[in-house]
Amino acid sequence: MPAIDELAERITSIGFRCTGCSECCRRVADDSNLVIVSPPEIRAIMAATGMTWDETAEPYPEFIDGGDGARYTFAWCIRRRGNTCIFLVDGRCTIYAHRPWICRTYPFMLDGDALLVSECRGLGAPIPEEEARDMARALAERSRAEAVEEAGIRRRFAEAAVPKGRRAVFDSEGMKVLDG
């Protein structure tokens, strides 16, 4: 992972300012509205909103065939209504203080040392130094959180088998067999 100063410099050279278009919360291209959330993030949103797990999140839609009719996936996404995140209301995020890492760090993400940049109207705009550093710190934290979640998923996947004919999600908390 790059040092925070170096990452902040790269972000500054790219430039970014959120325009509030909320396109990152809606489907504007294939799967562009799939916001992956970890169990700790889901539980934080549940605590803040009083919503249930199922009201908050839906399984990542790409399931892997496990044989005997069993199918599984490795992540949860923020639940969508139609093509839009359910937490987007009148163009604003209603869980802003509790939004997931993906939302906090959009349009950037780290892949090892590489800083990846997604399409966004706000790219290229001047970014204040302190905001670039905040984004760099958030990206580093997001990477660490994702590494912990991935290790948890690998451990849980090794522990359990999906029952015949059922669908399940593996996350760092365990195997969650879905209804129906």
**β-strands 70-73, 167-171: how paired?**
parallel
* C-alpha distances in Å from residue 91, one per residue of 20, 25, 62, 150: 8, 9, 28, 32
Query: Taking the complex as a whole, how short is the minimal distance between the CB of residue 73 and ligand SF4, in angstroms?
Result: 19
Nearer to ligand SF4, 9 or 23 (CB): 23
> DSSP assignment, residue 28?
S
Nearer to ligand SF4, 93 or 177 (CB): 93
Q: How far is the CB of 57 from ligand SF4 (least distance, A)?
A: 11
We find the least distance from the C-beta atom of residue 123 to ligand SF4, in angstroms, to be: 17
Shortest Å, Cβ 110 to ligand SF4: 18
Nearer to ligand SF4, 83 or 160 (CB): 83
Q: Which positions lie near ligand SF4, rule CB under 6 A? A: 25, 35, 78, 85, 87-88, 93, 95, 99, 103
- C-beta atoms surrounding 129 within 10 Å: 11
| Alpha carbon distance 39, 35 (integer Å) | 13
Query: Which of 29, 26, 35 is closest to 79 using CA atoms?
Result: 35
Joined together, the tokens standing for residue 95 give 């869980």
Residues 6+ apart with CB under 8 A from 86: 78, 79, 80
For ligand SF4, which is the closer residue by CB, 9 or 146?
Answer: 146
Q: CA–CA separation, 22 vs 138, rounded Å?
A: 20
CB of residue 24 vs ligand SF4: minimum separation in angstroms?
6
Q: Which is nearer to ligand SF4, 101 or 170 (CB)?
A: 101
